[in-house]
Amino acid sequence: MKNIYFIGLPGCGKTTLGKTLAQQLGIPFLDLDSEIEALAGMPIPKIFSGYGEPFFRDLESRALHSAAQKGGQLVATGGGCIMRAENARCMRESGVVVFIDRPVSHILKDIHIQHRPLLQDGPQKLLDLSAQRRDTYLQNAHFVYQNEGTPTQAAEDLALFCAVGTRGDFAVIGWPIGHSLSPAIHNGVFESLGLPHRYGAIAVPPGKLDIFIAGVRAFGLQGFNVTIPHKQDIMPFLDDIQQDAADCGAVNTVALRSGRLCGTNTDMEGLNQVLQKNGSGFAGRRILLLGAGGVARAIAFKACREKAASIQILARDVQKCRQVALPLHPFAHTPVHCGGFTSQELVAAAQNCDVLIHCTPLGMQGTQQDFESLDFLEALPKTALVCDLVYNPPKTTLLQRAEQLGLTHLNGLGMLIYQALLADEFFLQQTLTKEPLFDTLYQTLNNKQEKTT
């Protein structure tokens, strides 16, 4: 792992924030000033008064170069360290440089000047230092953090930025993300292929995609998957979006290629492949979607592309169904019907359905909410396929009832694995032999889930 260097004016928060973050991230923290004192065997004010600033700067360069050789640490540097060109080069080459940009007026409120050797001449000195150094800070920083809020806010934001550098080469982002099976799937694929990559999970709160993306670019994260609630909001941050993903308005996979962020959507094809494996698919089928969120939007689009016979979209808010239906207008060959979640509409829709796809979190572990009635399943033709995109628990009440009625049914695990395999092809830019990988992962994860439920 690369070093993370915090730079900025004295009092901007480098040391306090650095210590907290290093502990959170589980990496060593190094305060360069303490290293210098250890090298000299005396406190910094004594080095300055006894030997002068040039001597101090030489020690500082030595301490920095030794930190650079170790790697994997969060290093709080002195405010003047990066002013030497060789130090700036050393930091940029051995790590990611973060400028903690706190306005001088805020710093003066936060610090005790008498504890800062460089500021003994009073507050004007800090303004002079800012004028001398700010351009160099800006020129050398991979990321500039505007530290204008509370320390808690700064710690949360910087923890997110730094997390990108500590979780591996690829990751899944979402909020919340703790439950995600994606790391197990992708690490399983990389292991099977004999690749050394690591895939982690990063919790990105709503409204913080800008900080995450800055981390992606600074640390060079090779790729990431996107889940709830970011599939639409990620789009303005990307340089290139494949046509299908742009058309359906949702991206679930992003690769960093030669500095450009390229997005695609593998959910749609993932489900298509799994339906085909189960003797169905979209072509010529009457599709019923329950829910009108991000995944329903992508599936509706794919179903039209694949020439479904018809699509019915039912959700508790009919207006949202209409929003999903709107971009489907050009697909004149597939009639689209929108409706509410009432039992009457559910029964009527079920009568005209070959493939029912459940796209809401109802019945998912942790949601506490489930269908009020499942009687509409009785209205399905006996040949219908019931597909629940929820995979935890493996058999939701919807699937239990479908099973009792003798209907073919499947949960969301297959889609989850297939979209991940397609994402890995996008990340690695190579075609994988997906079937054996799919079968092994499906068996492993299904067994694990059945044991825990």
Distance separating alpha carbons of residues 411 and 97, to the nearest angstrom: 45
At closest approach, how far in Å is the CB of 448 from ligand NAP?
Answer: 16
Taking the least distance from each CB to ligand NAP, the nearer of 82 and 359 is 359
Structure-block tokens of residue 6: 């915090």
Answer yes or no whether residue 251 interacts with ligand NAP by CB under 6 A. no
- Where b means 16+ CB within 10 Å and e means fewer, 416-436 reads bbbbbbbbbbbbbeeebebee
Region near ligand NAP per CB under 6 A, out of 5-13, 292-300, 301-309, 376-384: 292-300
Distance separating alpha carbons of residues 279 and 354, to the nearest angstrom: 12
Residue type, 379: A
Question: Alpha helix locations (H) across 175-293?
Answer: 182-192, 209-219, 243-248, 267-277
Answer yes or no whether residue 360 interacts with ligand NAP by CB under 6 A. yes
Binding-site residue total for ligand NAP (CB under 6 A)? Answer: 26
At closest approach, how far in Å is the CB of 86 from ligand NAP?
Answer: 50
Taking the least distance from each CB to ligand NAP, the nearer of 254 and 390 is 390
Taking the least distance from each CB to ligand NAP, the nearer of 171 and 416 is 416
Task: Give the residue nearest to ligand NAP (CB).
Answer: 293
From residue 299 to residue 318, what is the string marking binding to ligand NAP with x (rule CB under 6 A)?
Answer: ----------------xxx-
Taking the least distance from each CB to ligand NAP, the nearer of 20 and 360 is 360
From residue 195 to residue 234, what is the string marking binding to ligand NAP with x (rule CB under 6 A)?
Answer: ---------------------------------x------
Binders of ligand NAP among residues 5 to 34 (CB under 6 A) are none
Residue type, 85: A
Residue 404 and residue 397 in contact, taking contact as beta carbons nearer than 8 Å: no
Residue type, 25: L
Distance separating alpha carbons of residues 442 and 453, to the nearest angstrom: 16
Query: How far is residue 90 from each of residues 60, 68, 93, 252, 374, measured CA to CA in Å?
Result: 12, 7, 5, 36, 64
Region near ligand NAP per CB under 6 A, out of 257-265, 360-368, 428-436, 442-450: 360-368
Answer yes or no whether residue 320 interacts with ligand NAP by CB under 6 A. yes
At closest approach, how far in Å is the CB of 21 from ligand NAP?
Answer: 31
At closest approach, how far in Å is the CB of 309 from ligand NAP?
Answer: 23
> Strand, coil or helix: what is 311?
strand
At closest approach, how far in Å is the CB of 394 from ligand NAP?
Answer: 12
Taking the least distance from each CB to ligand NAP, the nearer of 369 and 404 is 369
The conformational region for residue 314 under phi > 0 = left, psi -120 to 50 = alpha, else beta, is beta
**Are β-strands 355-358 and 74-76 bridged in parallel, bridged antiparallel, or unpaired?**
unpaired
- Which residue from 35, 157, 169, 267 is in contact with ligand NAP, where contact means CB under 6 A? 267
Residue 166 and residue 24 in contact, taking contact as beta carbons nearer than 8 Å: no
At closest approach, how far in Å is the CB of 445 from ligand NAP?
Answer: 12
Answer yes or no whether residue 385 interacts with ligand NAP by CB under 6 A. no
At closest approach, how far in Å is the CB of 301 from ligand NAP?
Answer: 13
- Where b means 16+ CB within 10 Å and e means fewer, 175-204 reads eebeebbbbebbbbbbeeeeeebebbbbbb
Question: Which of 2, 231, 302, 395 is the catalytic position?
Answer: 231
Question: Which residues does residue 74 pair with via DSSP β-bridges, in sequence order?
Answer: 4, 29
What's 77's DSSP letter?
A: P
Region near ligand NAP per CB under 6 A, out of 108-116, 124-132, 293-301, 442-450: 293-301
- Which residue from 10, 183, 281, 294 is in contact with ligand NAP, where contact means CB under 6 A? 294
> Strand, coil or helix: what is 316?
coil
- Which residue from 313, 416, 428, 441 is in contact with ligand NAP, where contact means CB under 6 A? 416
User: In residues, how long is the chain?
Assistant: 453
CA-based nearest residue to 441, from 184, 197, 265: 184
Token match 């695609």: residue? 264
At closest approach, how far in Å is the CB of 210 from ligand NAP?
Answer: 21
Distance separating alpha carbons of residues 165 and 145, to the nearest angstrom: 16
- Which residue from 27, 336, 359, 398 is in contact with ligand NAP, where contact means CB under 6 A? 359
Taking the least distance from each CB to ligand NAP, the nearer of 87 and 419 is 419
Question: Alpha helix locations (H) across 194-258?
Answer: 209-219, 243-248
At closest approach, how far in Å is the CB of 104 from ligand NAP?
Answer: 44
Binders of ligand NAP among residues 363 to 382 (CB under 6 A) are 364, 369
Query: Catalytic: 307?
Result: no
**How many other C-beta atoms can be found within 10 angstroms of the C-beta atom of residue 4?**
30
Residues that bind ligand NAP (CB under 6 A): 228, 267, 291-296, 315-317, 320, 341, 359-362, 364, 369, 389-391, 412, 415-416, 419
What are the catalytic residues?
Answer: 231
